[in-house]
Structure 1
Amino acid sequence: MPRTAQRGGPQTRARISAAATQLFLERGFDSVTVAEVARAAGVSSVTVFKHFPRKEDLFLDRTADAVDLLRAAVRDRPAGVDVLTSLRDTTLRLVGTRHPLSGVNNSSVPFFRTVAASPALIARAREIGAELQQTLADELGDDPTFTGDATLLAAFFIAGYGTVLVDTARRLIAGAPHGPVVHDHRQRLERLFTALRKGVAN
């Protein structure tokens, strides 16, 4: 998932990702091999692994985006804006724009179904959550303006966001109307930030 300057460049990476996503959505993650993805993308299996170190990363391919968003929320926030406000603004902006990382994008349902059907993807998603938690904790720990408990805030934020995301996924998979689910998703995120503000941000 981390985006590195691999042979073939971003166009090759994008082609591999698109081919993999189509196959996984059509047949399920566990039923598709890396060799099949390579053939569909017109590359070798070696090239696939140069861009995506793990098969799971072919589908869960936005970790680098999430890392960039977390780092920007801490490092690039305007003067006078505290970390929690910046994290809240970033999170709600994702919802407002229906960004893929928001969990309420129009293509989220088939994505969620594919993840839910694969123990390997579920396990990798949990690993990614732990990686993002560590990233945020490191960023907060390096920020001289943050005086709270960096480890606790990172843990509660990532766990809370993940909880909201999983509950939203379950409702969408079950066929709940998209509009009310998005509304509830946003409201629960607001409650998460209120709890963080009162509990661990200071």
Structure 2
Amino acid sequence: MDGTPGLRERKKQRTHAAISDAAIGLFLEHGFDAVSVAQVAEAAEVSKRTLFAYFPAKEDLVVHRLADHETENARVVRNRPPETAPLTALREHFLRGLETRDPVTGLNDLPPVRRLYRLILDTPALVARMERFKNGAERELAAALRETADVPELTARLAAVQIVAVHWELAKDNADRLAHGEDADARHTGAVADAEHAFALLENGLRDLADVP
């Protein structure tokens, strides 16, 4: 076995891609709410039953493109070099993502990515679906912290909630700026500064809020 997908698997991958491409094209042209699942199935030349076998909910037709990133922070924590703190590894990973214009950081202004950002940010149902995505990312990261950093369960959960929220806010801010016309290269310096500030807050906790002005 050389790891190459068999004929059946390749056919499933082609069907998955065809449905996704048809859906995104229709949503970008007409808007998410204006397009029905039946229209997507017709454009992809599959039945509704087949479509739902690949994508259980309409929102998944869009959000699935980010699905691999749901466990990304957990993978970073589990695979970090020895003697590297989890937060350091996550910070360095996010900064590398900004440098390489990883779409998950929100700092990618390729036209198809920019349009996808705008679609998600302007569609309440997709923003709500992203909240479920965040919940899954929090659970995965909390598990990774418990397993590799030997921290109590509550500490791991609280840390994961804060880290994922920071990632989401940074990415959302970048994506919103780019979706409305800002250039990724021009935004990069500000995005790095914002990320450094955010991770410094994570590192220092909320001690500044405990001081009386």
Query: Does the pair score TM above 0.5?
Result: yes
Question: Could you tell me which residue of structure 1 aligns to residue 120 of structure 2?
Answer: 115
1:140 aligns with 2:145: yes
Moved more, 151-160 or 91-100: 91-100
Q: How many residues align?
A: 196
Q: Distance in 2 between matches of 1:173 and 1:78?
A: 35
Distance in structure 1 (CA, Å) of the matches to 2:204 and 2:172: 24
1:184: which partner in 2?
190
Name the structure 2 match of 1:58. 61
Deviation at 1:199, TM superposition (A): 2.3
Residues 71-113 of structure 1: CA deviation (Å, up to 9, x unaligned): 2112112222221122122222222222221211224321122
Q: Is the 8 A contact 2:55 2:61 kept in 1?
A: yes
Do 1:69 and 1:90's aligned partners in 2 also have CA atoms closer than 8 Å?
Answer: no
Question: Which has the larger displacement, 17-26 or 107-116?
Answer: 107-116
Q: Which runs of 4+ in 1 moved over 6 A?
A: none
Q: Does 1:75 align with 2:44?
A: no
Contact 1:19 1:37 in 2 (8 A): yes
Shift of 1:143: 2.1
Distance in 2 (alpha carbons) for counterparts of 1:43 and 1:139: 39
- The structural deviation recorded for 1:117 is 2.6
Distance 1:79 1:97, change over 3 A: same
Letter in 1 for 2:132: E
SS of 1:32's partner is coil
Report the Cα offset of residue 146 of structure 1. 4.9
In 1: Cα distance, 2:187 partner to 2:164 partner:
20
- 2:211 corresponds in structure 1 to none
Residue 142 of structure 1: SS of its match in structure 2? helix
Specify every segment of 5 or more residues in structure 1 that has no aligned partner in the other structure, as ranges.
none
Equivalent AA in structure 1 for residue 22 of structure 2: A
Question: What percentage of residue pairs aligned between the two structures are identical?
Answer: 36
When Rg is computed on C-alpha atoms for both structures, the one with the higher figure is: 2
Question: Counterpart of 2:167?
Answer: 161
Does structure 2 conserve the Cα–Cα contact (< 8 Å) formed by 1:141 and 1:150? yes
Counterparts in 2 of 1:68 and 1:11: CA distance versus 1, 3 Å = farther
Contact kept, 8 Å, 1:28 with 1:117, in 2: the verdict is no
Q: Once superposed, what is the RMSD of the aligned Cα atoms? A: 2.4
Give me the TM-score of the superposition, normalised by structure 2: 0.81
Long gaps (5+) in structure 2: 1-7, 207-213
Assess if the C-alpha contact under 8 Å between 1:16 and 1:41 holds in 2.
yes
Partner of 1:11: 14
